[in-house]
Amino acid sequence: MMNKMRRVWLLAGGGAVATGLVVLLVSGQAGAPLNRAVRTAALLGYVCIFLGILSSAFLRQLIRFFGRPFVKLHHMITVTGLVLITLHPLGVAMQGLGLQVLVPRTDSWQSFFLYGGIPAWYLIAVASLAAALRAFVGKQWRVIHFLNYIAFLLAMVHAFLIGTEFQYLWLRVLAASMVVVVITVFVRNRILRRKVKNPV
């Protein structure tokens, strides 16, 4: 029991370090306090969504490794990510752009991807709601939950195109690596589910 608790604390410590690095990164950039807070929320939200996707792919193994409390930690990470990415557009709206920033842009594909963070937010909200109501949705909740993958990719495209901190090559490489991991996890999950449905 003590070893499992140490592992949980190790995971929490890693998350705290990642949070500290993001805060230091944004604090070193120009911008008003609200603007920097908005960017911090976005970056931390991306990290939480990434960790949520990654942990959901290995939930059974992680429960065995960390113990049952990891399930609660997984839910806390995903909810925190949803809250942070909600604060991001609300903060942008408060900077004078108004609530129209919460409406997805459909005037062109370029605008849609440029401001892809908004449709990503809606997709994550729907996927999270489906997971919370899985007892009522039934087995289809897993299919809806896959929207998280699409949302993460949309959010990353948005960040690459207009994210202030994404001017740094190392952050672009890191984000691209996260995208590769997410796509790999998605493909792996699909292959495993097909094997379960169609055993040899």
Q: What is the mean pLDDT of the chain?
A: 76
Q: Alpha-carbon distance 27 to 71, whole Å?
A: 32
Q: Which of 14, 90, 96 is nearest to 47 (CA)?
A: 14
Q: What percent of the chain has pLDDT over 90?
A: 0
What is the model's pTM?
Answer: 0.75
Residue 8: pLDDT over 60: no
Q: Euclidean distance between the first and final Cα of the chain, in Å?
A: 38
- Mean pLDDT is lowest, of 9-23, 49-63, 80-94, for 9-23
Higher local confidence (pLDDT), 86 or 66: 86
DSSP state letters, the chain: -HHHHHHHHHHHHHHHHHHHHHHHHHHTS-S-HHHHHHHHHHHHHHHHHHHHHHHHHTHHHHHHHH-THHHHHHHHHHHHHHHHHHHHHHHHIIIII-GGGGSPP-S-HHHHHHTTHHHHHHHHHHHHHHHHTHHHHTTHHHHHHTHHHHHHHHHHHHHHHH-GGGGSHHHHHHHHHHHHHHHHHHHHHHHHHHHHHS--
Span 45-70, average pLDDT: 73
Which pLDDT tens digit goes with each residue over 78-128?
788 888 888 888 888 887 777 788 888 888 888 898 888 889 888 888 887
pLDDT at 106: 86
**What does the pLDDT look like over 162-188, one tens digit per residue?**
877 787 788 788 888 888 888 888 887
125: its two tokens? 């909200």
pLDDT the model gives residue 2: 44
**Least confident residue range of 58-72, 144-158, 182-196:** 58-72
Number of domains into which the chain is organized: 1
Residue listed under structure tokens 């929490």: 12
- Residue 200 reports pLDDT greater than 60: no
Q: Given a cut of 70, is residue 27 above it in pLDDT?
A: no
- pLDDT, residue 82, reads 84
Query: Contact 171/165 with Cβ under 8 angstroms?
Result: yes
Q: Which domain holds residue 180?
A: 2-99+108-197
Q: What is the CATH number of the domain that holds 48?
A: 1.20.120
**Computed from CA positions of residues 17, 120, 162, 90, in that sequence, does the dihedral angle turn out positive or negative?**
negative
96: left (phi over 0), alpha (psi -120 to 50) or beta: left
Confidence at residue 183, expressed as pLDDT on a 0 to 100 scale: 87
The string of pLDDT tens digits covering residues 134-160 is 767 666 666 777 788 888 889 888 888
- Provide φ and ψ at 135, rounded to 5°: -65, -30
